[in-house]
């Protein structure tokens, strides 16, 4: 059985690992990047807490000892179900089974101004762009004499009060308190404002009320200006325009307010649900298809417990990958269809960190919500275990330990992009 997996995120990578060296399978793992990205820690790369290499792991290294898993570095362009093939940026590839695990991208809700000027954070590269932007602005700030322009540079706006928005806001607030005044003594950081804008009435709306209230308390303790029931109307690169007509001057907007599925061409438009997700049955099979599956952020599956689809989080993708691997093995053995497993999501809880010794955790069993230092330790321990590679875990842990002891980060580096001048054969900045 030739299985083509498009996307090496949490779901796609887990499925490939579960089919690794299993007899009867030939697996092709396709991705735009040659590494797996640990998305929950993007915000720490953006705020100079971790190096990008610490949360990235080469895909080929994962499967060095595999006899049946091969990697292809390309972008999926189109699915041709009638011919059982896909078209990538490099070639056409046939399949017996296709698994779409292409994840989700930033959703700007059709606002071209935001798409052009705001900074998303859905990849390692985008996290590095945010880090470069922040550091470059502070390097330039001491040369700005006009007060309005200086304040625009000193204002940072984060849009979206989910886990990503809360975590990056807290990390920026800690940089303002512990790091930036020492790096830039000529600047007055009492003027620096970190705004967190949320369209609903509370942060972490997917978590319980106690956790939401705790996160608000923690953010306010760190000095974040939290604005709930606030929608962004537009951003022109200089001022954020809010739904009530108010404006916030800022040179940096970090967009963490929405995601949409990465759906390739060739998928029937009638199968696309809210949030740009593909409708599937309880086996993760795309409706109307026999051999195309969708898992993770891309899949929209209605169940009695989740009538509006499952949460777009890593555990969902990994659990769907586990079920699909078991079913593919049954299909390969030509087992009876009634033996196939139906997907049922097992919620093991949710968590988010706000800052040093500050985190919130919701556990389903027992029905318990708690925060503070104990929750923060659990958050760190779980994320450390989920990172691929012993070396990566070691360096992440050492960075966290160093940051905790010194109240500092040591990765505030600005790498400029260069090109090779063919006439002089020397590198020049872009």
Look up the CATH number of the domain holding residue 137. Answer: 3.50.50.100
Domain span at 155: 112-257
Q: How many CB atoms lie within 10 A of CB 421?
A: 10
Q: How high is the mean pLDDT of the chain?
A: 93
In whole angstroms, give the CA distance from residue 129 to residue 330.
Answer: 45
What are the tens digits of pLDDT across the range 271-290?
999 999 999 999 999 999 99
What CATH number does the domain containing 309 carry?
Answer: 3.50.50.60
In whole angstroms, give the CA distance from residue 189 to residue 150.
Answer: 11
**pLDDT at residue 271, rounded to an integer:** 96
In whole angstroms, give the CA distance from residue 366 to residue 322.
Answer: 25
In whole angstroms, give the CA distance from residue 240 to residue 235.
Answer: 5
Which of the four pLDDT bands, split at 50, 70 and 90, describes residue 342? very high
Could you tell me if 192 and 122 lie in one domain?
yes
Q: Is residue 75 part of a domain?
A: yes
Residue 428 has pLDDT above 80, yes or no: no
What are the tens digits of pLDDT across the range 48-85?
999 999 999 999 999 999 999 999 999 999 999 999 99
Beta bridge partners of 195: 157, 225
Is residue 358 within 8 A of residue 170, CB to CB? The reply is yes
In whole angstroms, give the CA distance from residue 242 to residue 232.
Answer: 5
In whole angstroms, give the CA distance from residue 29 to residue 8.
Answer: 7
Which of the four pLDDT bands, split at 50, 70 and 90, describes residue 389? confident
Which of the four pLDDT bands, split at 50, 70 and 90, describes residue 365? confident
What are the tens digits of pLDDT across the range 194-227?
999 999 999 999 899 999 999 999 999 999 999 9
Using alpha carbons only, give the angle 204, 56, 50 rounded to the nearest 5 degrees.
65
- Strand 277-279's sheet: what is its strand order? 272-273, 277-279, 299-300
**pLDDT at residue 420, rounded to an integer:** 53
Where helices occur in 79-123 by DSSP H, the ranges are 112-117
**pLDDT at residue 411, rounded to an integer:** 80
Could you tell me if 8 and 100 lie in one domain?
yes
Residue 426 has pLDDT above 90, yes or no: no
Beta strand segments in 191-303, E? 193-197, 225-227, 232-235, 239-242, 247-249, 252-255, 259-261, 272-273, 277-279, 292-294, 299-300
Q: Is residue 207 part of a domain?
A: yes
Which is more confident, 60 or 418? 60
Q: Is residue 13 part of a domain?
A: yes
Q: Is residue 325 part of a domain?
A: yes
In whole angstroms, give the CA distance from residue 396 to residue 55.
Answer: 8
Could you tell me if 10 and 39 lie in one domain?
yes
The SS3 assignment for 428 reads strand
Could you tell me if 131 and 233 lie in one domain?
yes
> How many domains would you assign to the chain?
2
**CB hemisphere CA count around 154 (13 angstroms):** 22
Could you tell me if 144 and 214 lie in one domain?
yes
Q: Is residue 429 part of a domain?
A: no
**pLDDT at residue 415, rounded to an integer:** 74
Which is more confident, 110 or 7? 7
Is residue 302 within 8 A of residue 309, CB to CB? The reply is yes
**pLDDT at residue 409, rounded to an integer:** 79
Which of the four pLDDT bands, split at 50, 70 and 90, describes residue 333? very high
Chain-centroid distance, C-alpha 312? 10
Could you tell me if 81 and 164 lie in one domain?
no
Structure tokens at 422: 């063919």
Which of the four pLDDT bands, split at 50, 70 and 90, describes residue 419? very low
**pLDDT at residue 262, rounded to an integer:** 94
In whole angstroms, give the CA distance from residue 123 to residue 162.
Answer: 17
Structure tokens at 149: 């322009």
Residue 170 has pLDDT above 60, yes or no: yes
Domain boundary among 308, 339, 370: 339
> Average of pLDDT values for 407-428?
65
Per the omega criterion (within 30 degrees of 0), is the bond before 15 cis? no
Could you tell me if 178 and 295 lie in one domain?
no
Residue 76, classified by CB atoms within 10 Å of its CB into exposed (0-12), middle (13-18) or buried (19+), is buried
Where helices occur in 157-241 by DSSP H, the ranges are 163-174, 180-183, 209-222
Could you tell me if 136 and 122 lie in one domain?
yes
**pLDDT at residue 418, rounded to an integer:** 47
Which is more confident, 179 or 417? 179
What are the tens digits of pLDDT across the range 233-273?
999 999 999 999 999 999 999 999 989 999 999 999 999 99
Which of the four pLDDT bands, split at 50, 70 and 90, describes residue 408? confident
Could you tell me if 117 and 219 lie in one domain?
yes
**pLDDT at residue 410, rounded to an integer:** 76
- Of 184, 176, 140, nearest to 158 by C-alpha is 176
Could you tell me if 51 and 68 lie in one domain?
yes
Could you tell me if 77 and 171 lie in one domain?
no
Q: Is residue 411 part of a domain?
A: no
Domain boundary among 224, 257, 290: 257
Could you tell me if 243 and 266 lie in one domain?
no
**pLDDT at residue 47, rounded to an integer:** 94
**CB contact set of 48 (below 8 Å; sequence gap of 6+):** 131, 135, 175, 409, 411, 412, 413
Domain boundary among 289, 319, 339: 339
């Amino acid at each position: 059985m030739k299985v083509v997996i498009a996307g090496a995120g949490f779901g796609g990578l887990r499925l490939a690992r579960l089919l690794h060296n299993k007899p009867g399978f030939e697996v092709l793992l396709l991705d735009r990047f040659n590494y797996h990205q640990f998305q929950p820690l993007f915000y720490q790369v953006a705020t100079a807490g971790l190096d990008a290499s610490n949360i990235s792991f080469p895909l080929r290294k994962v499967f060095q000892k595999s006899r049946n898993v091969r990697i292809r570095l390309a972008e999926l362009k189109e699915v041709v179900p009638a011919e059982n093939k896909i078209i990538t940026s490099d070639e056409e590839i046939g399949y017996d089974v296709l698994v779409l695990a292409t994840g989700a991208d930033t959703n700007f809700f059709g606002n071209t101004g935001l798409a052009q000027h705001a900074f998303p954070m859905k990849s390692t590269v985008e996290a590095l762009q945010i880090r470069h932007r922040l550091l470059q602005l502070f390097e330039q700030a001491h040369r700005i004499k006009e007060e309005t322009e200086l304040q625009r540079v000193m204002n940072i706006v984060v849009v979206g009060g989910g886990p990503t928005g809360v975590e990056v806001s807290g990390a920026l607030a800690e940089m303002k308190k512990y790091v930036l005044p020492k790096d830039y003594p000529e600047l007055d950081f009492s003027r620096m404002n970190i705004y967190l804008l949320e369209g609903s009435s509370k942060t972490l709306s997917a978590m319980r009320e106690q956790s939401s209230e705790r996160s608000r308390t923690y953010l306010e303790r760190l000095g974040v200006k939290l604005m709930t029931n606030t929608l962004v109307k537009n951003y022109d690169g200089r001022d954020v325009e809010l739904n009530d007509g108010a404006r916030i001057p800022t040179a940096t907007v970090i967009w963490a307010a929405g995601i949409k599925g990465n759906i390739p061409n060739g998928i029937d438009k009638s199968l696309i649900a809210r949030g740009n997700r593909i409708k599937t049955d309880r086996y993760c099979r795309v409706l109307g298809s026999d051999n195309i599956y969708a898992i993770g952020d891309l899949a929209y599956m209605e169940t009695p417990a989740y009538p509006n689809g499952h949460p777009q989080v890593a555990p969902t993708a990994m659990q769907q990958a586990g079920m699909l691997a078991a079913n593919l093995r049954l299909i390969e053995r030509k087992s009876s269809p009634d033996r196939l497993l139906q997907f049922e999501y097992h919620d093991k809880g949710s968590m988010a960190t706000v800052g040093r010794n500050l985190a919130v955790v919701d556990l389903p069993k027992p029905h318990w919500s708690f925060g503070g230092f104990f929750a923060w330790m659990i958050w760190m321990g779980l994320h450390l275990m989920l990172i691929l590679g012993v070396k990566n875990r070691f360096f992440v842990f050492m960075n966290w330990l160093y940051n905790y002891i010194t109240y500092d980060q040591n990765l505030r580096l600005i790498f400029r992009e260069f090109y090779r001048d063919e006439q002089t054969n020397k590198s020049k900045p872009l």
